[in-house]
Structure 1
């Protein structure tokens, strides 16, 4: 996605309201058949979501350290369409579909060129250390509102 030199981090980017995050399939991502192991699509999507939040100005580490809460997945619906294989260049495309008081609904796709490999609808909620939902801070809501996919 970005041409990163040795001193630059590799980041995803926003394309309008859609966040796009590049992923390369390594040997460790595959199973004995040479295809990406099903659970690793979830890892790719997690990286895409985390990068999307960071680029939107949400500092998850600071929120956790300050006791403001952390995101937890409360619902996940995933569908696999085609396999990815060793050395494939993939993109995790993430779109924010719904913003609630304490949660977000995000639709994510893992694609290779024009091929849809997997897609998921993920609900994440902000929860306190005791596991109870917390309202999103106003600054976070303000960051998310322009990202909502209509």
Structure 2
């Protein structure tokens, strides 16, 4: 189950841990956090009035992950309800950077934090600039949120 909360200064997406996402020790397997980062990223983009699926279909580009940094702080377990907080940190030319925090809703514990760096690519996987509509919206988001921090 995924629930999206309207954008404030940070995008928020709720995720409930499924049994299949846990390992033999009963904790969430580490790679699932990267999937939840993607959920947060897509929902943040949606909260800005943009659509990642439409960007791929109409603009002919995607945002390829080229770098990931993750710091695991505490384990999540089956049926935990989590909040994925996502922030757009930078968007210039073909490079976009997001930051994430994954928190357990029941106690507010920080479970994981990380960053991803993306390069905008065309269908031929060659680097290209972010389409103007997206670049403008990202720039406005960054300017608006920088004034609050």
TM-score (norm 1): 0.86
Give distance in 2, aligned partners of 1:77 and 1:132: 23
Displacement of 1:55: 2.2
Does residue 30 (structure 1) correspond to residue 22 (structure 2)? The answer is yes
Instruction: Give the structure 2 partner of residue 65 of structure 1.
Output: 57
**Structure 2: where are the runs of 5+ without partners?**
none
Deviations 1:96-138 (A, max 9, x none): 1111111211110111132111111111221011211111122
Give distance in 1, aligned partners of 2:31 and 2:6: 24
Contact 1:95/1:147 (<8 A) preserved = no
**Aligned with residue 117 of structure 1, among 111, 116, 120:** 111
Q: How many residue pairs get matched?
A: 141
- 3-state SS, counterpart of residue 57 of structure 1: coil
Displacement of 1:147: 2.3
Displacement of 1:26: 1.2
Over 3 Å counting, the alpha-carbon distance change for 1:18 and 1:99 in structure 2 is same
CA-atom RMSD in angstroms: 1.6
Displacement of 1:67: 5.1
- 3-state SS, counterpart of residue 7 of structure 2: strand
Instruction: Give the structure 1 partner of residue 47 of structure 2.
Output: 55
Instruction: Give the structure 1 partner of residue 74 of structure 2.
Output: 82
**Structure 1: where are the runs of 5+ without partners?**
1-8
Give distance in 1, aligned partners of 2:14 and 2:102: 10
**Aligned with residue 120 of structure 2, among 100, 122, 126:** 126
